[in-house]
């Protein structure tokens, strides 16, 4: 007969309470057991002494006759200093799956492209900023020689675009009502 040291669940729904029992490994989880060797109440604080109660003498006896503890009971026995639990190592546990790796690679590529586009935009902005600065420097040099001529030249072009904009606005205003009337005719 194979003996297991395991948990047997009791308590109400969503309020678990466990007995630590020595049972035949073929018996049901909450069924018949050979002996109760402790209790476990997961609802109590982790540092509470009432959370895990264990009869160490009986646990040692059952281990001596060949009982195999479950993983959770082995943790309790290790904490009590009765049986040492070997540390497990699963290096692939946190490794993402194939699709997650593909998504990560695609995301990295998009970020790289976005960074390259941002750098290109910055370089263009710098080039554009430098070009007007060079033009302004070129304009300033003649301005020292003849400031009166430049002032007159600057004022004249500034007034012309404003005059050109006004007729364009009037034309757009005239076209808009014409379109509305054609729609009204189509609906009527």
CATH number at 58 reads 3.30.1320.10
Amino acid 163: pLDDT? 46
Q: Are residues 56 and 114 in the same domain?
A: no
* Three-state secondary structure readout of 2-23: CEEEEEEEEEECCEEEEEEEEE
Nearest to 40 by CA among 48, 51, 32, 56: 51
Q: How far apart are CA 6 and CA 3, in angstroms?
A: 9
Helix (H, G, I), strand (E, B) or coil at 54: strand
Lowest pLDDT segment from 16-25, 42-51, 123-132, 141-150: 141-150
- Shared domain for 62 and 119, answered yes or no, is no
Residues 75 and 108 in one domain: no
22 and 73 both lie in a single domain: yes
- Clarify whether residues 64 and 111 are in a common domain: no
Residue-number span of the structural domain to which 127 is assigned:
95-141
Shared domain check, 102 and 74: no
Claim to verify: residue 125 and residue 63 sit in the same structural domain: no
**Same-domain status, 103 and 40:** no
20-24, 133-137, 165-169: which is most confident: 20-24
pLDDT at 93 over 70: yes
Which comes out higher in pLDDT, residue 125 or 167? 125
Query: Is 89 part of a structural domain of the chain?
Result: no
Whether residues 52 and 101 share a domain: the answer is no
With contact defined as beta carbons under 8 Å apart, do 55 and 34 qualify? no
What is the pLDDT, as a whole number, of residue 12?
Answer: 95
Would the pLDDT of 75 be above 60? yes
> What SS3 state is found at 55?
coil
Same domain, 68 and 130: no
Q: Is residue 171 part of a domain?
A: no
Interval 108-147: pLDDT, tens: 999 999 999 999 999 888 888 887 666 666 565 554 555 5
Q: Is 11 in the same domain as 73?
A: yes
If asked whether residues 75 and 12 sit together in one domain, one would say yes
Any domain includes 148:
no
- pLDDT number for residue 185: 53
- Residue 151 in domain: no
Q: How far apart are CA 39 and CA 170, in angstroms?
A: 90
Retrieve residue 3's tokens.
């003996």
Residue 42 domain flag: yes
Residue 112 lies in a domain: yes
Over residues 95-109, the pLDDT tens digits come to: 888 999 999 999 999
Please indicate, yes or no, if residue 128 is contained in any of the structural domains: yes
DSSP string for residues in 18-46: EEEEEEETTS-TTS--SEEEEEE-TTS-T
Contact 82, 20 (CB under 8 A): no
CA distances from 8 to 4, 43, 119 (A): 11, 16, 64
How many distinct structural domains can be found in the chain? 2
Structure tokens at 2: 């194979």
């Amino acid at each position: 007969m194979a003996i297991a040291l395991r948990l047997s669940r009791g308590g109400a729904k969503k309020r678990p309470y466990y007995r630590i029992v020595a049972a035949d490994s073929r018996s049901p989880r909450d069924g018949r057991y050979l002996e109760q060797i402790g209790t476990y109440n997961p609802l109590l604080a982790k540092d509470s002494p009432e959370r895990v109660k264990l009869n160490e003498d009986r646990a040692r006896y059952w281990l001596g006759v060949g009982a195999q503890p479950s993983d959770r009971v082995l943790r309790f026995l290790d904490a009590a200093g009765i049986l040492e639990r070997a540390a497990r190592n699963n290096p692939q546990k946190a490794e993402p799956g194939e699709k997650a790796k593909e998504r990560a690679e695609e995301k990295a590529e998009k970020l790289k492209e976005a960074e390259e586009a941002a750098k290109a935009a910055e370089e263009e902005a710098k080039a554009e900023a430098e070009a007007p600065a060079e033009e302004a420097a070129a304009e300033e040099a003649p301005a020292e020689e003849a400031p009166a001529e430049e002032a007159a030249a600057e004022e004249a072009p500034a007034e012309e675009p404003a005059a050109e904009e006004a007729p364009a606005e009037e034309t757009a205003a005239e076209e808009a009502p014409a379109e509305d009337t054609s729609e009204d005719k189509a609906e009527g």
